[in-house]
A and B are shown apart, each in its own frame.
Chain A
């Protein structure tokens, strides 16, 4: 090495010196369990839309979100230009019409949310921290339900804003919007719970996706077919009870009974208030049941 380079070397070393400060202890805040639960909720909710994940994982949820909102935007555009007095589509009806999109979103995102932690055995790392089983399950369930709520409530918001732009009756529209929000909130909790249970019981992501789609479409297909047959053969009384056997028709039943929706059951034969109570109880029981199953599932995998 020549003298010159040695000089440059020292000069460099003097200007750009790397300080190895060694290990530093952390004496800042430790925000504990509630903070960890909030962080997990936020991370899972963002994750459901691919935020904070790779660009590829953003594609599907964003497309589905757009697909959910486009019909609402078209309805609004038509309503505003043709100066309709009422929206051609009820707020409560929107989620029923777009159920396939909601199902796809759930099928894609529920396994993403829980199967990875199970499959790669990351769960013990959570439970060796202040966060506990209850926190984990609540955060994941809350995040999935919130993601579905964002997906289903956004088009309702577009419809409501559009209805105001079209100068429809404010009180009427706001009431419909509120009923719609209650309905999709219930739907989000129900679907979120069912989706996570299926995903958590099938640690392989592909099986989880298939399970969610199969459960939603098969039950809905079976229930509507049997309902149609029952209606055609004149046993109208059976129609209102058959709806208890698929998630979508459950929500349909609840909102027909309590939220002023017009039922999509054959012949509009939705449940009355009496049967509606059974529907509501069934929905609540399923949500609570999902929570219970998830808690049991994670009792086994904690470490």
Chain B
């Protein structure tokens, strides 16, 4: 989908991209980096809007230096900042943008109705955008990037400004853009955590250089640690201890007790999940003890650890939070 070869972009005072070589395949790819890491510069170059100082880049097999217009016809772009006029309705706006992408009038209207429905805007699409919530505005921005059915969309910080629920919905939507619509996605974020759930592949850039590029499963594959928390009951005043005993008896490998002074850490059991059956064992054991299961969640290695390479080597004992 996207190939860059020692792509550099230098401004008089800053080097935004420094010999960046990438090979991004179909699917959902996360582009992670702190603010100013060169993400937006890369997007500009990929859209053929800003020439690279050196190196070359191809999008969908087209050279960005010579085929900018052809690329922009097949690629969608959702900017990070607000870009919606408040005084028109989502429908009018997206229809106009569809025509700017070259869709004939009738097709533009049909595609707009379809796309707005797919991003989850229904009756409100006839109301002026000015009255929309941030989440709805983000959906309109996504819709205008998808309305011409591109082969690839570039989403610049799509979860910016959203509350946790809106964030999850947007991430789910991004996932669907690939799985249901068959459109490949390049999504940027400075939050590593949210990309590991959404992306097949994550590229980490820092200071314009490639820090790491690998599939999300590589990042987080080593072990699956389960964190389990249970309530106490009258029969078992210390539910955690009772469960620890019962699980050990059931043959589940438990990690050492967490003694790091974090509030509530003493109530969390960390155990090794070997497969599906471990989940069943935990469930059955908890049920047999008559305790309430407060949480059972995966404690994976977090992408954040790419910034601390030594941390990834150690067993995951300290809870991330």
Give the complex CA separation of A128 and B99 in angstroms.
Answer: 13
Give the complex CA separation of A9 and B99 in angstroms.
Answer: 41
Name the residue on A nearest B92 (C-beta). Answer: A52
- B73/A28 in contact, CB under 8 A: no
Give the complex CA separation of A39 and B44 in angstroms.
Answer: 25
- A128/B86 in contact, CB under 8 A: no
**Known interface pairs A125-B83, A130-B72; A30-B148 also in contact (CB < 8 Å):** yes
Give the complex CA separation of A52 and B76 in angstroms.
Answer: 26
Is the contact region of chain A dominated by helix, strand, or loop, or is it mixed?
A: loop
Contacts of B88 in A (CB 8 A): 53
- Report if A22 contacts B (CB, 8 A): yes
Give the complex CA separation of A58 and B180 in angstroms.
Answer: 42
- Report if B310 contacts A (CB, 8 A): no
- A129/B101 in contact, CB under 8 A: yes
- Report if A24 contacts B (CB, 8 A): yes
Which size bracket describes the interface of B in this complex? 35 or more
- Report if A126 contacts B (CB, 8 A): yes
- Report if B126 contacts A (CB, 8 A): no
A18-35 vs B, CB cutoff 8 Å, 1 = contact: the mask equals 000011111011111101
- B118/A23 in contact, CB under 8 A: yes
Chain A: residues with Cβ within 8 Å of the partner, total of: 35
Name the residue on B nearest A131 (C-beta). Answer: B100
- Report if A175 contacts B (CB, 8 A): no
- Report if A43 contacts B (CB, 8 A): yes
Contacts of B99 in A (CB 8 A): 35-36, 39, 43
- B100/A39 in contact, CB under 8 A: yes
- Report if B219 contacts A (CB, 8 A): no
- A30/B73 in contact, CB under 8 A: yes
Give the complex CA separation of A124 and B180 in angstroms.
Answer: 27
Stretch in A72-80, A114-122, A146-154, A157-165 with 4+ CB within 8 Å of B? A114-122
- B84/A120 in contact, CB under 8 A: yes
A157 to chain B, nearest CB (A): 29
B26-56 vs A, CB cutoff 8 Å, 1 = contact: the mask equals 0000000000000000001001011000000
Give the complex CA separation of A126 and B92 in angstroms.
Answer: 15
Contacts of B182 in A (CB 8 A): 23, 25
Give the complex CA separation of A36 and B99 in angstroms.
Answer: 6
- B85/A31 in contact, CB under 8 A: no
- B49/A129 in contact, CB under 8 A: no
**Known interface pairs A23-B180, A120-B86; A125-B144 also in contact (CB < 8 Å):** yes
Of A22, A24, A25, A129, the contact of B100 (CB 8 Å cutoff): A129
Of B47, B100, B180, the contact of A40 (CB 8 Å cutoff): B100
- B103/A30 in contact, CB under 8 A: yes
- B181/A132 in contact, CB under 8 A: no
Give the complex CA separation of A200 and B115 in angstroms.
Answer: 32
**Known interface pairs A28-B107, A30-B102; A127-B49 also in contact (CB < 8 Å):** yes
Contacts of A53 in B (CB 8 A): 88
Give the complex CA separation of A266 and B79 in angstroms.
Answer: 56
A240-260 vs B, CB cutoff 8 Å, 1 = contact: the mask equals 000000000000000000000
- Report if B211 contacts A (CB, 8 A): no
Give the complex CA separation of A208 and B242 in angstroms.
Answer: 74
Contacts of B236 in A (CB 8 A): none
- Report if B81 contacts A (CB, 8 A): yes
16 A-B pairs within 8 Å (CB atoms) are namely A23-B182, A25-B182, A30-B73, A31-B102, A32-B73, A33-B102, A35-B102, A35-B104, A36-B100, A43-B96, A116-B85, A125-B100, A129-B97, A303-B44, A303-B49, A303-B79
Residues of A within 8 A of B (CB): 22-26, 28-33, 35-36, 39-40, 43, 52-54, 116-117, 120-122, 124-132, 302-303
Q: Sorted from nearest, which 3 A-B pairs have the closest CB atoms?
A: A26-B149, A128-B77, A30-B102
